[in-house]
Amino acid sequence: MPDAPGLELMAIEIEADHPGAILGTYHEHGCACLIADPAQIRGVLAWLREAPSHRYTFLASVHAADYMPAEPRFGVHYELLNRDRVERIRVRAALPDPPEGLPEIESVVDMFPSAEFQEREAFDFFGIVFRGHPDLRRILMPEDYVGWPQRRDFPVGGEPVIFTNTEHQVPGWYR
C-alpha cells in the first residue's frame, strides 16, 4: 500500500496526464484511496494499470455505496491490485443523485473483464447505470423487481419474505 507521501505523488502523476481527475486522497481501514472525477474514471484506472511504476493490473472488486444524506450521494469503489508487490489501492468515484433518472458512470468491463458481474450487482442493488456495459441487467433480484434494495431510502420491511413453502402465495412472484 502506498504511504501518504506516495499516494500524494501518485495523485500528482495522474493529474499531470489527466488534469482535474483526482479530487482528493485519504487512507481508510489500512487502504490508500484516490477520489476520482467520475467523468475521468476510465482514464484514472487505465493510468494505474499501464503506468510502469504502478501496474495495478487486477481489478479485484467494484462495489457501490449510498452515503445519503451526504452529497454526492453514491460512491462507486474500485479495488485494484498489484500482484507482484502485493499492493492494493482503492479508487472512489462520487456520483450525485440526479433529479430524474439514475446515476451514471462509464463501464470498465472492456478494460477489466472481472468488472462485468460486479457492475451488474451495483446496478441491481443501487440503480447505478454503467454506460457501455455489454449486458446491464439485474443479476440477483428477479428481473421484474421494482426498486433498488440497497439504497438507504428503500422501505425496510415493506417487502414480503419469500420462502420455498410460500412462493405460491406471494403475489407476482410465482407464475
Q: Is 173 left (phi over 0), alpha (psi -120 to 50) or beta?
A: alpha
Distance CA 150, CA 65 (A): 8
Higher pLDDT, 166 or 98: 98
Tell me what the mean pLDDT of segment 66-92 comes to. Answer: 94
Per-residue pLDDT band at 6 (split at 50, 70, 90): confident
Q: Is the pLDDT of residue 174 over 60?
A: no
Distances (CA, A) of 114 to 34, 78, 108, 110: 20, 11, 9, 9
Closest CA to 35 of 49, 46, 25, 20: 25
∠ Cα 146 150 156 (to 5°): 75
pTM for this model (two decimals): 0.86
Tell me what the mean pLDDT of segment 67-96 comes to. Answer: 94
∠ Cα 110 18 58 (to 5°): 35
Q: Is the pLDDT of residue 168 over 80?
A: no
What pLDDT shows up at residue 160? 62
Q: Is the pLDDT of residue 173 over 90?
A: no
Distance CA 55, CA 58 (A): 9
Which of 26-49 are b and which e, b meaning 16 or more Cβ less than 10 Å from the residue's Cβ?
eeeeeebbbbbbbebbbbbbbbbb
Give the torsion through C-alpha atoms of 48, 54, 55, 58, to 10 deg. -70
